[in-house]
Structure 1
Amino acid sequence: MTREIEVKYRVRDLAALEAALLHRGVRLSPPAHQDDQAYAEQGWTYGQSKLGVTFARLRTQQGRHLFTVKRPLDNAMACFEHETEVTDRAEMHSAIVAMGFYPTVRIVKTRRTSTLKNMTICVDEVEHAGSFVEIERTVHGDENGLAVQEELHAFACSLGLDLERTTETYDSLVRAT
């Protein structure tokens, strides 16, 4: 079973983050525009726990459409995940709704990424929510998601920056604004 484990931080000083990452040898990719539509299972609403609930996402980036299904296991940032490319965003939207999901929020962001060792680092500027850095790792098998989050958090702290950790997903952050 593949799981995506991540930690997320609100960034107050983007230039300081970029400098700290560069000091570690992290060179961010050129910016990519991402247009995400989030979906939830019928019956789930904001304010309820996300644990064990399946969520879907339809992302368009550089002319490609990605369909993703996530189910939070340990917490909202430690998810079982499947992702595949689809050719027709409108048809996939209709299929997702037919499968019993409903659209929740649209998340539009500019993302720059890089890798360092076994981590993926994403620097995001999210419309209506602000600037963030996500540090994530893909794990297989029964590796402890909470322990992985602590390792990722230790890396974030080692950057020596004023980062504000959040346990909210982008859909919740955008919806709150």
Structure 2
Amino acid sequence: MPWRTAHHSGNRPAAAPGRTRCPRHLPPPTPMSHQPRPSPPNLLGNRTDHGTEPAGRTTMRYIEVEQKYQVKDITALKAALEKRGAEPGLTTRQVDTYYNAPHRDFLAPDTISEWLRLRESEHGDSINYKRWLPADAVVKTHCDEFETPVEDIEALRRTLQALDFTIVIAVEKVREEWTVPGLVEVAFDTVTGAGDFVEFEFKGQATEPAEAIAQLDAFIADLDVELGDRVNRGYPHILLGRER
């Protein structure tokens, strides 16, 4: 509502008790600063600060490309990774709890194509949604992935429960992470009730999934190490006895 300016002759009447007279001319408002908010602590690799991703990663921001194998000779594989400049990182215990949704049964299709997961670990908790593609294919090539750190995982757990999300299974594992900077992350997983596996996840620059898959294939082939059988199922699939 605009200010009204009253015109008085003589002395201006005093303001009523308890009220402060507004100034006739207000100073212009100070422009708000539009500085970007600082990024949260990076608990999930390069997934929390997408504003600094290299050009070419933009279209792959929320797409995951990875391959999983059974471990055959872990010593030879680590030696080959070191030759490629891989750097060993953290070893963590992780508990991944998978949920089913009240509005859509993730387990109903012949091929499970999506999961909602809460992860607890010593180095930070997170929530993750994945939808594998092609959706109806037995062998998935990539997935849409949305992942972010969680400050209060118990509050989120209670929220999901209140919204009628139900727990499907909890997967416990010990993960040792290796990184080839700007190219691949390698995870050596010992999964309770399932065994030992290695996952290669693409972290380089690509404009589409096919390009990322080709680079990951080339990286694995260049290691020149005999791997175990390729695994085209997630850990929940294995523990639930689902083939796909």
Aligned to 2:201: 136
Whether contact under 8 Å (1:2, 1:139) holds in the other structure is: no
Whether contact under 8 Å (1:3, 1:139) holds in the other structure is: no
Aligned to 1:172: 237
Q: Given the alignment of the two structures, is residue 105 of structure 1 paired with residue 165 of structure 2, yes or no?
A: no
Q: Which secondary structure state, in structure 2, belongs to the residue aligned with residue 120 of structure 1?
A: strand
Aligned to 1:118: 183
Counterparts of 2:167 and 2:176, CA distance in 1 = 26
Aligned to 1:85: 149
Q: Given the alignment of the two structures, is residue 8 of structure 1 paired with residue 68 of structure 2, yes or no?
A: yes
Q: Which structure is larger by alpha-carbon Rg, 1 or 2?
A: 2
Structure 2 unaligned segments of length 5 or more: list them: 1-60
How far is the alpha carbon of 1:37 from its aligned partner?
Answer: 0.6
Counterparts of 1:24 and 1:63, CA distance in 2 = 26
Whether contact under 8 Å (1:74, 1:146) holds in the other structure is: no
Q: Which secondary structure state, in structure 1, belongs to the residue aligned with residue 87 of structure 2?
A: coil
How far is the alpha carbon of 1:40 from its aligned partner?
Answer: 3.0
Count matched residues. Answer: 174
Q: 1:135 to 1:157 in 2, by over 3 A?
A: same
How far is the alpha carbon of 1:57 from its aligned partner?
Answer: 0.7
**Higher RCO structure, 1 or 2 (CA under 8 Å, sep 6+):** 1
Q: Which secondary structure state, in structure 2, belongs to the residue aligned with residue 43 of structure 1?
A: coil
Q: Given the alignment of the two structures, is residue 96 of structure 1 paired with residue 160 of structure 2, yes or no?
A: yes
Q: Which secondary structure state, in structure 2, belongs to the residue aligned with residue 30 of structure 1?
A: strand
Q: Which secondary structure state, in structure 1, belongs to the residue aligned with residue 96 of structure 2?
A: strand
Once the two structures are superposed, what CA deviation does each residue of 1:55-98 show, in whole Å capped at 9, x if it has no partner?
Answer: 21111111522111122233645221222222332321232344
Aligned to 1:74: 134
Whether contact under 8 Å (2:99, 2:167) holds in the other structure is: yes
Once the two structures are superposed, what CA deviation does each residue of 1:89-110 show, in whole Å capped at 9, x if it has no partner?
Answer: 2321232344453222211111
Q: 1:56 to 1:90 in 2, by over 3 A?
A: same
Q: More displaced, 69-78 or 117-126?
A: 69-78
- Code of the residue aligned with 1:135 in structure 2: it is F
Whether contact under 8 Å (2:183, 2:204) holds in the other structure is: no
CA RMSD of aligned residues (A): 2.6
- 2:122 paired residue among 57, 62, 65: 62
Counterparts of 1:92 and 1:128, CA distance in 2 = 27
Provide the TM-score with structure 1 as the length reference. 0.82
Q: 1:49 to 1:62 in 2, by over 3 A?
A: same
Point out the structure with the larger strand share. Answer: 1
How far is the alpha carbon of 1:169 from its aligned partner?
Answer: 0.9
Structure 1 unaligned segments of length 5 or more: list them: none
Counterparts of 2:214 and 2:162, CA distance in 1 = 38
Whether contact under 8 Å (2:96, 2:119) holds in the other structure is: yes
